[in-house]
Amino acid sequence: MNVLESASLNSNAIYPLELEVNGERRWLWVRAAETLLHTLRDHLGLTGCKPGCENGDCGACTVILNGLPMKSCLMLAVEADGQRITTIEGLKHSPVQEQFVLKQAFQCGYCTSGFIMNGHGLLSAHPDADPETIRLWLESNICRCTSYEEIHGAIMAALAVNKEGGSATGSS
Amino acid sequence: MTGTARYTGDTSKPGLLHAALAVSPHAHARMLSIDTSAARSVPGVRAVITGEDFPVLTGSPLEDRPPLALEKVRYFGEPVAVVVADAEYIAEMAALQVRVEYETLPLVQSPLEAYKPGAPLIHERLAEYKHYEEVYPEPGTNVASRNRIRKGNMEEGWSRSVHTIEVRVSMPQSDHAAMEPRCSTAELLPDGKAVIHSASQSPYIIRSQINRYFHIPLQQIIVHTPLVGGGFGGKAAVQLEFLAFLASRAVGGKAVKLVNSRERDMVSSPVHIGLESRVKLGCTADGKIAAAEITHWFDGGAYSDRGPIMSKAGASDCSGPYRIDNLQCDSLCMYTNHPYSTSFRGFGHPELTFAIERAMDVMAARLSMDPLEFRFLNAIGPGDTTPTQTLLDRSTVGNLPMCIAKLKDMIRWDEQPLIEAKGHFVKARGVCCMWKNSNTPADAGAGAVIIFNADGSVNLLCGAVEIGQGTRTSLTQMVAELLRMDVHKVSISTDVNTETEPQLWKTVASRSTFLVGNAIRAAAHDAIVQLKNTAARVLQLPSAELEIGGGRVYSMRDPGIGIEITKIALGYKLPEGGTIGSQVIGRGSYAMRDIKELDPMTGKGKPGPEWTVGAQMVEVELDTRDYSYRILQAATVIDAGKVINPVFARGQITGGMSMGLGLASREAFAFNDEAQVLNPQFRTYHMLRYGEQPAYFVDFVETPNAEAPFGLRGIGEHGIIGMPAALANALSAATGIALNRLPLTPERIWRTAHDTL
């Protein structure tokens, strides 16, 4: 039974959870009030997703949930029960990742995994994204170091590479 | 990139305890009582600490701040207690149970208000505070520090002036908003060692401050700083480290982690300084500036932290990069009931530049002169003196006229009108010049060690923190270049560890490459001498005849004669036994040479080794119906001395410009009448987002600075400096109204337009 269907969820009680993370099945116990971000970081050691605001404003904690970007600070872990999650640790040589390196689209790197996950989701969902779509997707993340110029370059290049190469799925 | 890069908050371990802050809801209030019993009774709570547990004042240069409020609170969000618990959420819940009884006090909401006679005093015992470095408090007032510039003869300056103008400007406090919130972990080991992990720009300052306030010998304090997720000056202050230390001490030395929530990070931890300023300029008929009188009132907030050093910078570079022979400036760091300020990218210069450059534009308009032409005409150069009466030469001041000329070319200044109207839209351009000196302490320094391995590779040890500026990579490139080896053979850790790495003052002020670079230069030289000495004995050649490169030490006369470094890196083992030489360990260090403290009455002195100069432009398109606007272009030409890595250099400049455009156009704390910050989160505190970036144009001039490695000058902060001024100049041109208050939101422009009418 999905834990959400439990009649009364006590925020401090712990519940069993099953996740598919980066292609692996994981079973764990979490507090009902715990966000997916903390579960990924503290229980599974996947610290690539970063707490930036824990309010859904900065996107540093973005992961892919069932193929679409999700800010993991805005979701309870128990809500993710039984679902498929990809984190930055699960991406290998994806076009967005590679272009971020080539275009030097990062400085301190703290926002980078969130940007990459969001960009990766964009490539899967909208391989032909027009500039307005790209802006709408990426304005949900904040980078404080760069001017976004390099990130824009990386995303455009990744879209181009993706179209040539066919698939955006660099995930394991 | 792959999720493996580790920041301070990414490390955990079994048994780690968590701390959370209880903070003040009032901006100025006496604490009548504090009751922690409810917090202590929350299951999982290990300890609750209040100001009384550590009634010591901290701060540098002025000791005015208790780590936890004592007797009274002076800003909204000020920490009053720390709760230590088994889990972060328990600590946070319990922190809400700390009950404080307050009696509110009259507020001081702006630096000008603070300066008024009879203003409520924020620090009644200012006279008793200890101080270090250059700080000049005025007890009995809210002046935390005042620096004066008195240069030339004001009477003569004004009498030569045909045109005089006066401008008043203001820039609010705002936030560094690094994407990684501040985070510190402390553990006190049974053998007396204190181990601190912190997201910091100043691991060695943490060490010296822990030493000063907790009396632990320096060698027993181990500070680790891994990758830092953005600093911008905000992580140069020491704050959470004290609290984490106290938290650990309260639970028998167990490891305790203290992470700021975004809301805490924005107001409880130190912020970007604000400024109110008055500039009076006098100019001759032919457009030469003859006199300037400037007063800066910096909004240092409730505690001074680095504010007095920033207000000193506000004095030392107050003229902007212009020749002004008759100059008077008072630069004050004021206490207010706002969050306390610390260093911020540009260190007082975006602020002072906004003031002087608005005045420059107003004066150019008065003279009906092209604003760039006016700046070119007054540009400072070799033979001129700075406000601190430092005589400049090409090496110290670089080449501002060349920057202006390059900027003009790059943006096709002469081919486009300053203002261009099309229907409801007005396109306009604004320019400014800027300069910056580092205002480092006279004894700032750094060390470096280069250790050779058996395979000819090297490890570099140095204290520069990687905060995203690419310094550590640049330093390995420097080592590779000096040792003429492949950069892939030079390794550096991402983690700074004060136990193993030689000291660096701080990773601030665009100084790391200068300080550590000079130390590396000495270390590389030391290593080369060792390699040559060993090789000379093996090859039976004078070492003066030897050269190093390509993994070999070889004869300059006959490069075919030589020996691989792999054979001598750990000493050369003779076939018959015995060794010539030993492991090559190059060591070097460097300290600032001729910085002179500023005379507080005249400003005479020398604030740093060199100035970086530059010229900048912003182009906007304004919709005259609602004053919304788009920033179309932003340009910078800067004298970098020498560009080491063009990609990093451009990224640093455009990143700075982006932040500057944010400051100029939208970033500000919104205070209510109780001086509470209404927007301590990214949903309501706006920064530039993806898609809002203008087209960026960046170019460099390279006038070497003789004292720096490879002739380079600091550039890490400088992109930001002129952006507020250039944007305000562009929008003032577009609207025909003097826009002197930041941030320039459409609402602010609308209000200014309607106030003017």
Q: What is the mean pLDDT of residues A70-89?
A: 97
- Mean pLDDT, residues B172-194: 98
CB contact under 8 A, A48 and B232: no
Q: What is the pLDDT of residue B18?
A: 98
Cβ contacts of B226 on chain A, cutoff 8 Å: none
Report whether pLDDT(B726) > 80.
yes
Q: Given this model, what pLDDT does residue A171 score? A: 41
Q: How far is B5 from chain A (nearest CA, A)?
A: 8
pLDDT at B382: 98
Instruction: Provide φ and ψ at B319, rounded to 5°.
Output: -75, -10
Q: Tokens in use for A29? A: 């116990």
What would the pLDDT profile of B354-383 be if each residue is shown by its tens digit? 999 999 999 999 999 999 999 999 999 999
Q: What is the pLDDT of residue A4?
A: 56
Q: Which residue of B has its CA nearest to A46?
A: B3
Least confidently predicted of B134-138, B284-288, B714-718: B714-718
Task: Please write down the HEC assignment for all residues of A22-74.
Answer: CCEEEEEEEECCCEHHHHHHHHCCCCCCCCCCCCCCCCCCEEEECCEEEEHHH
**Hey, what amino acid is at B179?**
M
Q: Per the CB < 8 Å rule, is A88 touching B2?
A: yes
Give the span between the Cα atoms of B610 and B596, in whole angstroms: 13
Assess whether pLDDT exceeds 80 at residue A123: yes
- Closest Cβ opposite residue B657 in set A88, A135, A147: A147
**E-assigned strand segments in B584-733:** 585-591, 612-623, 629-639, 695-701
Quick one: pLDDT at residue B473?
84
- Tens digit of each residue's pLDDT (9 = 90 or more) over B577-609: 999 999 999 999 999 888 899 999 999 999 988
Calpha distance B130→A35 (Å, rounded)? 46
Per-residue pLDDT, averaged over A138-144, amounts to 97
Q: Would you say residue B401 has pLDDT above 90? A: yes
pLDDT in tens, B661-702: 999 999 999 999 999 999 999 999 999 999 999 999 999 999
Percent of chain A with pLDDT over 70: 91
Given a cut of 50, whether residue A172 has pLDDT beyond it is no
Domain borders along chain A are 13-89, 91-163
Has residue A143 got a pLDDT over 70? yes
pLDDT band at B648 (very low <50, low <70, confident <90, very high): confident
Q: What is the mean pLDDT of residues B558-571?
A: 96
Q: Which residues pair with B221 in a beta bridge?
A: B194
B chain contacts of residue A97, beta-carbon cutoff 8 Å: 1-2
Nearest CA in chain B to A92: B2
Of B89, B229, B683, the CB nearest to A108: B229
Asked if B44 reaches chain A (Cβ–Cβ under 8 Å), the answer is: no
As a whole number, mean pLDDT of residues B488-508 equals 92
- Is A54 close to B1, i.e. CB distance below 8 A? no
In 3D, which of B494, B436, B517, B367 has the Cα closest to residue B717? B436
- Average pLDDT value for residue range A41-55: 97
Whether B638 and B715 have beta carbons less than 8 Å apart is answered as yes
Q: With CA atoms as reference, report the closest residue to A21 among A83, A79, A72.
A: A83
pLDDT at B494 (0 to 100): 86
Distance from C-alpha of B349 to C-alpha of B52, rounded to nearest angstrom: 38
ipTM of the complex: 0.94
Which of B261, B468, B691 comes nearest A139 by C-beta? Answer: B691
- Specify whether the CB–CB gap between B527 and B584 falls below 8 A: yes
Give the three-state DSSP class for B47.
Answer: strand
Token duo for residue B450: 């280069």
Q: What is the mean pLDDT of chain B?
A: 96
Provide the β-strand partners of residue B137. Answer: none
Distance from CA of B3 to the nearest CA of A (A): 4
Q: Does B181 sit within 8 Å of A144, measured CB to CB?
A: no
| pLDDT for residue B469 | 76
Q: What distance in Å separates residue A9's CA from the closest CA in chain B?
A: 17
Q: Do domains A13-89 and A91-163 have the same CATH topology?
A: no
Q: What does the block give as tokens for B418?
A: 């300053």
Does pTM surpass 0.90? yes
Which chain B residues in 168-187 lie under 8 Å from chain A, judged by CB atoms? 177-181
**B262 vs A31, A53, A88: nearest CB:** A53
Chain B residues closer than 8 Å to A51 by CB = 9, 181, 259
Please give the average per-residue pLDDT across B310-333, as a whole number: 98
Single-letter code of the amino acid located at B302: A
Q: How confident is the model at residue B512 (pLDDT cuts 50, 70, 90)?
A: confident
8 Å CB contact of B655 and A60? no
**Token pair in block for residue B222:** 């181990």
Q: Is some CB atom of chain A closer than 8 A to the CB atom of B13?
A: no
Of 1.20.1260.10, 3.40.718.10, 2.60.40.420, 1.10.150.120, which CATH number belongs to A91-163?
1.10.150.120
C-beta of residue B146 within 8 angstroms of C-beta of residue B310:
no
pLDDT tens sequence across B11-43: 999 999 999 999 999 999 999 999 999 999 999
What is the share, in percent, of chain B residues with pLDDT greater than 70?
100
B618 to chain A, any CB pair closer than 8 A? The answer is no
Closest of B146, B260, B126, B111 to residue B198, by C-alpha: B260
For chains A and B, CB pairs below 8 A equal 142
What lies within 8 Å, CB to CB, of B411 at 6+ separation is B429, B617, B619, B633, B635, B697
Say whether residue B648 is in contact with chain A using an 8 A CB cutoff. yes
pLDDT number for residue B130: 96
CATH 3.40.1170.60 assigned to domain A13-89? The reply is: no
| Sequential DSSP letters for B143-192 | EEEEEEEEES-HHHHHHH-SEEEEEEEEE--B----SSPPEEEEEE-TTS
Mean pLDDT along residues A23-42 = 96
Phi first, then psi, for residue B428 (nearest 5°) are -150, 155
Q: What is the C-alpha separation between A112 and A118, in angstroms, rounded?
A: 10
Q: What is the pLDDT of residue B513?
A: 85
Residue B706 is predicted with a pLDDT of 92
High-pLDDT (> 90) share of chain A, %? 86
